[in-house]
Amino acid sequence: MKYTHAIVRRPGLSFVKGITTSSLGNPDVNLAIKQHELYCQSLSEAGVHVILLDAIEDFPDGCFVEDTAIVTEKGAVITRPGDPSRRQEIDSIASTLSKYKKLQFIADPGTVDGGDILRINNHFYIGRSNRTNSSGAAQLSNHLSSMGFTSSEVSVGDILHLKTGASYIGNNTLICVDQLRSYFDNCSIISVQPDEEYFANTVTVNNTLIVPGGFPESLKKVRHHLNSHFLKQKVQPQEVKIVELDMSEFQKMDGGLTCLSLLW
């Protein structure tokens, strides 16, 4: 899929007050802002028009825009985040997205976090988690069906979101933690070891693979897989650019690379 647009939101000074289960300490807001700027730059260099929204200090987790919508080439679904403190975030996102997409909505009692939704080609895996409930999953499945997509539910277990532990990088390949790999039997899996599980959340944008920095073993596996694939296809491996980004301050707040953008 060719991506042309991305919605992102700057982290605010209230970022330190966001929801987290991490024991990595408080984030450095100034460093988070710099990391976010590099993230936006990487999207732009990958050929995407970046729509940068201002921080909203009332919403400490507002920079994690992924949870507020599921966007496709045929329309968008505005979610109802699982944590009540985040539900008002959808208003600004809906207003922005309505300029580009026809919108559908998840209604009470349904809850859906966009981080639980993993697309592989025209099929959507809906992660059932503490943030995405059965009503939300059923509503989302119906909305996706109306746009011509298929979907299925998978259990996330004790992982925060489905995409916390799995990301699709194209060519029928996922980067995945062992806990989730059985759901994707038809795909080639690049496994991440337990001490590098944060690496499982990556962003593939056009011919660029953006990965979190600081996980050398997982990066080595990805490079090996890409080189093997391109050798089989008889094309040059440099056709895929790998960009490593320091995501330390977002990791402290349970956030990853996909969390920071809505791509279409």
pLDDT value at residue 232? 56
Length of the chain: 264
Residue ranges making up the domain that contains 64: 5-263
CA distances from 180 to 70, 110, 127 (A): 21, 24, 10
How many other C-beta atoms lie within 10 A of the C-beta of residue 149? 17
Sign of CA pseudo-dihedral 149, 61, 249, 30: positive
Q: Of the listed 40, 63, 176, 259, which one is catalytic?
A: 259
Q: Which has more pLDDT, 227 or 93? A: 93
Query: What is the rounded CA–CA span in Å between residue 18 and residue 160?
Result: 15
Structure-token pair, residue 164: 């916390």
Q: Taking residues 50-59, report their average pLDDT.
A: 98
In the set 161, 176, 224, 225, the catalytic residue is 161
Reply yes or no on whether 49 is catalytic: no
Instruction: Look up the CATH number of the domain holding residue 64.
Output: 3.75.10.10
Number of domains comprising the chain: 1
Cα Dmax for the chain: 52
93 within 8 A of 69, measured Cβ to Cβ: yes
What does the pLDDT average to over 178-202?
96
Beta bridge partners of 53: 9
| pLDDT at site 237 | 47
The pLDDT of 222-245, averaged and rounded, is 75
Q: Is 161 a catalytic residue?
A: yes
Strand 123-128 to 150-155 pairing: parallel
Q: Could you give the CA distance from residue 137 to residue 125 in angstroms, rounded to a whole number?
A: 10
Q: For 104-113, 127-136, 164-173, 223-232, which range has the lowest pLDDT when averaged over its residues?
A: 223-232
Give the pTM: 0.95
Q: Classify 258 as helix, strand or coil.
A: helix
Host H or E run for residue 176? strand 173-176
